[in-house]
Amino acid sequence: MSTTATDRAGSPVREMHNHIGGRWVAATGAGGLEVLNPADGAALATVPLSSAADVDAAVAAARAALPQWSRRPVIERARLLFRLRQLVEERLEDFAELLTRDTGKALLDARLEMMRALETIECACAIPQTMQGRALGQIANGVDCETFRQPVGVCAAITPFNFPAMLTMWFLPFAIGCGNTLVLKPSEQTPLVPELIFELLEQLELPPGVVNLVHGGEAAVNALLDAPGVDAVSFVGSAATAAYVYERAAATGKRVQAFGGAKNYMVVMPDAVADKVAANIVASAFGGAGQRCMAGSVILAVDGAWEQIREPLVAAADRLRVGDGMQAGTDLGPVVSQDARARVTDMIEIGVDEGASLALDGRGPVADPNGAFVGPTVLENVSAQMLVAREEIFGPVLSVIPVASLDEAIALVNASRYGNGTSIFTESGAVVRRYREEVEVGMIGVNIGVAAPVAFFPFGGWKSSFLGDVGACGTDAIDFFTRKKTVTSRWFSGGQTGKYFVES
Ligand code: NAD
């Protein structure tokens, strides 16, 4: 583990620990990484790169806790989730500030993330209702049939850097609410908020091993994917890692859901309300510095629609204030790291080289050169073959492709290897209906720039944006974190007679 990391004052930064079997423990892995504030490059902590042995210890603790926890009455598990919700709400502002320091996102975006996190816990609190099975009496003479839901077992959740609070809550409350035990492996880039969540979880006095936190990167993920003691894996991250995780976890017979990357197209019809569209698209493309899997990334402007929205949109984007997310009035914080900044600016360069023109260039000078800032960027005259039109940039870059018709727009959306989110802006119900029917995308916004996850509805993309059968949130979360058991029964002593329908 690195011992040389220092903060801006030159003092050593603290080393983070794993939380295994109810205790904070030092990792045994080789080395660690500095966790940096992307707004100024200051070191906030050192995160360990845990070894397979650390992961195995966490899985063993989760396994040991499972029999007792899965038999705990469901109403008691729900009460603990209510308490978790209360603890998170009491620390909402602390969470938001920590999110801003760790991810760079503006404080307003951080507060919104915390609301989404809170809503998923609230949804999981309904577990005594939502975990119910189904029953039907008298399916034959004197015979009843019931389906029960039971926990899957030991679950692993592996999360990305961009929503460390919300995405932890996509999995943790539903998993333990359904009676599973959990090992969380958060992003090594933004591990501070998951750590605070575990500090609060300690106050619930859960039995040791019900929830476990293992920091790290690739080695820790591989150990989770290979561990025979893990029954189910939830993953969120880039498309390439999602495909890798899906395959490797499935190879050992685990249940897997792998949420991957995205390229989200926004179709603008000529009848759309121009000023509202401009405001919505600016929020979609540049909110969270474009580091959202649901960020709108490409405008497909139908039949002259770009000319109608160009001026208000570019002006609104240009007005966004870029800076440290902690400062009042900041609209756009930095991207997560200098590496991410280099990747985003390289993509802008590639777009220009391929023939796009810059309606707005966000690569100008920045207040703090230690910060990973990129301003809002708008590329116009983009064509569908260009890299910026096809691949995820994950930064504040918006591309504009003019198209002749709705047919052409739908064909372009459906030609993408991704299918996470899309939006359509129009006042025509008939156009919306056709788009909704034909587009191969999991989440659709109608006059809404970001069709963001709603805690009480299922969330998930199509194609390379999601590998698996059951998504996150709503009823899908219950389906993923339970397995069904169907019991067909009769009672001779009850005087029931008649033949069971499968008996000859
Ligand atoms: P990432 O794939 O780099 O990392 C995600 C997780 O996988 C991290 O915990 C990381 O430690 C681990 N990991 C990374 N490389 C690995 C490897 N080679 N082997 C094993 N594990 C590995 O993703 P990121 O950069 O942290 O997050 C951004 C990506 O996440 C974007 O592509 C974004 O679209 C996607 N995302 C998708 C959704 C969704 O719901 N579809 C939601 C949020 C983010």
| 92-103 helix and 107-124 helix, angle to the nearest 10 degrees | 120
Shared-domain flag, residues 298 and 248: no
Q: Are 301 and 404 part of one and the same domain?
A: yes
Structural domain count, the chain: 2
Residue 1 has pLDDT above 70, yes or no: no
Residues 331 and 375 reside in one and the same domain: yes
Q: Is residue 7 part of a domain?
A: no
Q: Has residue 502 got a pLDDT over 80?
A: no
Phi, psi of 21 (to 5 degrees): 60, 35
User: What is the number of other CB atoms lying within 10 angstroms of the CB of residue 88?
Assistant: 21
Is pLDDT at 11 greater than 80 in this prediction? no
Is 503 buried (19+), middle (13-18) or exposed (0-12) by CB count in 10 A? exposed
Residue 493 pLDDT level (bands cut at 50, 70, 90): confident
Q: Is 50 in the pocket of ligand 1 (CB under 6 A)?
A: no
Q: Is residue 453 part of a domain?
A: no
Which pLDDT score is estimated for 492? 86
Give the residue, out of 109, 168, 221, 238, with the most ligand 1 atoms within 8 A of its beta carbon, to mutate for a pocket test: 238
* Shared domain check, 310 and 324: yes
255 and 290 housed in the same domain: no
Q: What separation in Å is there between the alpha carbon of 186 and the centre of ligand 1?
A: 10
Same domain for 174 and 323? no
| 254 within 8 A of 289, measured Cβ to Cβ | no
Within a domain: 52: yes
Whole-number Å distance between alpha carbons of 16 and 196: 11
219 assigned to some structural domain: yes
User: What average pLDDT does this structure show over 157-186?
Assistant: 98
CATH code assigned at 281: 3.40.309.10
Same domain, 198 and 125: yes
Q: Is 160 in the pocket of ligand 1 (CB under 6 A)?
A: yes
Mean of per-residue pLDDT scores for the chain = 95
pLDDT over 90 at 21, yes or no: yes
For residues 253 and 272, membership in a common domain is answered with no
CB 128 within 8 A of CB 347: no
State residue 217 phi and psi, 5-degree precision: -125, -135
CA-nearest residue, atom 22 of ligand 1? 218
Residue 6 pLDDT more than 80? Answer: no
Q: Give the CATH number for residue 190.
A: 3.40.605.10
> Average pLDDT, stretch 452-469?
96
Amino acid found at 149: R
Let me know if residue 492 belongs to a domain. no
Which secondary structure element, helix H or strand E, spans residue 35, and what is its range?
Answer: strand 32-36
Q: Is residue 9 part of a domain?
A: no
Say which residue the tokens 């005087």 belong to: 495
348 inside domain: yes
Q: Which domain holds residue 71?
A: 18-260+465-486
CA dihedral 113, 19, 482, 234 (to 10 degrees): 60
Q: Are residues 186 and 170 in the same domain?
A: yes
Judge if 229 and 303 occupy the same domain. Answer: no
**Looking at residue 9, what is its pLDDT?**
67
**Does 161 sit in the ligand 1 pocket, CB within 6 Å?**
yes
CA distance 483 to 291: 34
| Prediction pTM value | 0.97
Residues 163, 307, single domain; the answer is: no
Whether 41 and 127 map to the same domain: the answer is: yes
